[in-house]
């Protein structure tokens, strides 16, 4: 397969394909469908020449990959990161397909990215890069075709520039082309915190299932961006003791629990957010954080953080995967052998795409819901997906990850079978 499509070959893509192969084998998936579902349906590579503030021109590489659209328009975030590449974007697009199917959302999977360190760009440079990227991927996207959203390194302002660029080309406002937008242009209440809220919803269900008490539960969160910060805040609001959080420099640790609201205030006040500068706990490395003795560990940064090297030292009771692909295949087996309850990424972090779906529905209807309505519907959908997955895992004696993957893949396979092969 890698000979077929060598451009995609990178560790994250290999991980996504290895997970798919395992699931496909267990479910005895049709051989022809396997070949198709391992590879993206469409991949677009774009070059983005951008005028920098000093007058020079830099060229950046951008990508948009649609993994599968059998069940509906494609959906998936846009990542700005210096290591973005086609294989990583293709892996993330594949996970989006299974994630949407698992939550029973009427979407296929996609992902996009630009190979850039956004913190090195001025606001003007970032806007020009974003608008050029949106213009270059214009043929692929649209509210009925492919709807991007924020991911690592992107935010609501970037979604607003993309929505505006798309709308300028169309000649009228098209709010439904992006989700994760600001409220003033059709964004949804509750979208920003949605992924974190979903992580907490499924963690609480897992704790109930395992008979773990809330008031003695401790939490460590790797990554303090959109997913990590909201997860830490909502875990604390739910009554858990958040002992450690981290960003790319390292982490803060306080055995008695970090004061998350105060930490968020200090972190955001700083123009160059740095956890270390908040001085609110002992300084630890990201590796130390992952190995803390805690009830719940939430990796909420990048992929391949828990590997065969550190997995033997991971000491949590529940691993709730806020990030996409944080656990390698070998590590997964080690965690299973240790009896750690893993809530896999395509389930644990699906709150983001669930509320993105709500945003898209609200934009189509031009009718907006209350925050309570959004939180309640998110809770209903994600906890139902959790229990379906748990029941399936129990009845087939498989892991939560395999149960989630098989459920997602099976829905996509059924859509392909009933639609047939064109031409």
Q: List residues near ligand NAD by CB under 6 A.
A: 150-153, 195, 222-228, 246-248, 286, 300-302, 322-324, 349, 352
CA distance 380 to 407: 18
The sign of the dihedral angle between the CA atoms of 405, 408, 413, 414 is positive
CA distance 200 to 353: 15
CA distance 354 to 127: 27
- Nearest approach, Cβ of residue 69 and ligand NAD (Å): 20
Strand order of the sheet with strand 146-150? 42-51, 57-68, 108-115, 74-81, 146-150
- Nearest approach, Cβ of residue 247 and ligand NAD (Å): 3
Closer residue to ligand NAD, CB minimum distance, 30 or 288 = 288
Closer residue to ligand NAD, CB minimum distance, 137 or 301 = 301
- Nearest Cα to 252, choosing from 267, 271, 272? 267
Closer residue to ligand NAD, CB minimum distance, 43 or 324 = 324
Q: How many CA atoms lie within 13 A of 126 on its CB side?
A: 18
- Nearest approach, Cβ of residue 339 and ligand NAD (Å): 25
Closer residue to ligand NAD, CB minimum distance, 80 or 166 = 80
Report CA dihedral (90, 94, 99, 102) to the nearest 10 degrees. 170
Closer residue to ligand NAD, CB minimum distance, 159 or 413 = 159
Beta-carbon contacts of 196 under 8 Å, excluding residues fewer than 6 positions away, are 226, 227, 228, 229, 230, 231, 232, 233, 234, 300, 322, 351
Q: Are 318 and 5 within 8 A, CB to CB? A: no
How far is CA 261 from its chain centroid? 24
Is 111 a residue of the active site? Answer: yes
Residues tagged active-site: 111
């Amino acid at each position: 397969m890698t000979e077929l499509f060598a451009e995609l070959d990178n560790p994250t893509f290999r991980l996504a394909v290895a997970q798919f192969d395992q699931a496909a084998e267990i479910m005895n998936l049709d051989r022809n469908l396997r070949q198709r579902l391992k590879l993206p349906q469409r991949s677009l590579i774009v070059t983005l020449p951008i005028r920098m503030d000093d007058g020079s021109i830099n060229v950046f590489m951008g990508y948009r990959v649609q993994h599968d659209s059998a069940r509906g328009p494609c959906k998936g975030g846009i990542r700005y990161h210096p290591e973005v590449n086609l294989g990583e974007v293709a892996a993330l697009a594949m996970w989006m397909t299974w994630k949407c199917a698992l939550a029973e959302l009427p979407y296929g999977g996609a992902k996009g990215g630009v190979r850039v360190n956004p913190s090195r760009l001025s606001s003007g440079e970032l806007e020009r890069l974003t608008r050029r990227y949106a213009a270059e991927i214009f043929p692929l996207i649209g509210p009925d075709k492919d709807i991007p959203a924020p991911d690592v390194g992107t935010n609501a302002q970037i979604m607003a520039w993309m929505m505006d660029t798309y709308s300028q080309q169309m000649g009228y406002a098209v709010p439904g082309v992006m989700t994760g937008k600001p409220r003033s242009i059709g964004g949804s209440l509750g979208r920003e915190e949605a992924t974190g809220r979903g992580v907490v919803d499924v963690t609480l269900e897992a704790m109930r299932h395992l008979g773990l008490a809330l008031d003695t539960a401790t939490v460590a969160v790797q990554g303090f961006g959109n997913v990590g910060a909201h997860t830490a805040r909502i875990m604390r609001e739910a009554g858990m003791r958040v002992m450690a959080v981290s960003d790319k420099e390292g982490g803060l640790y306080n055995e008695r629990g970090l004061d998350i609201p105060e930490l968020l205030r200090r972190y955001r006040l700083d123009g160059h957010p740095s956890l270390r500068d908040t001085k609110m706990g002992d300084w630890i490395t990201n590796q130390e954080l992952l190995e803390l003795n805690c009830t719940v560990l939430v990796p909420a940064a990048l992929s391949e953080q828990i590997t065969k090297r550190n997995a033997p030292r991971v000491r949590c009771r529940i691993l709730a995967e806020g990030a996409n692909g944080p656990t390698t295949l070998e590590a997964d087996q080690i965690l299973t052998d240790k009896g750690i309850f893993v809530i896999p990424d395509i389930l644990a972090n699906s709150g983001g795409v669930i509320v993105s779906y709500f945003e898209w529905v609200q934009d189509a209807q031009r009718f907006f819901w209350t925050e309570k309505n959004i939180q309640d519907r998110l809770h209903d959908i994600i906890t139902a997906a959790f229990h379906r997955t748990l029941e399936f895992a129990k009845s087939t004696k498989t892991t939560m990850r395999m149960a989630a993957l098989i459920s997602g893949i099976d829905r996509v396979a059924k859509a392909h079978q009933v639609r047939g092969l064109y031409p």
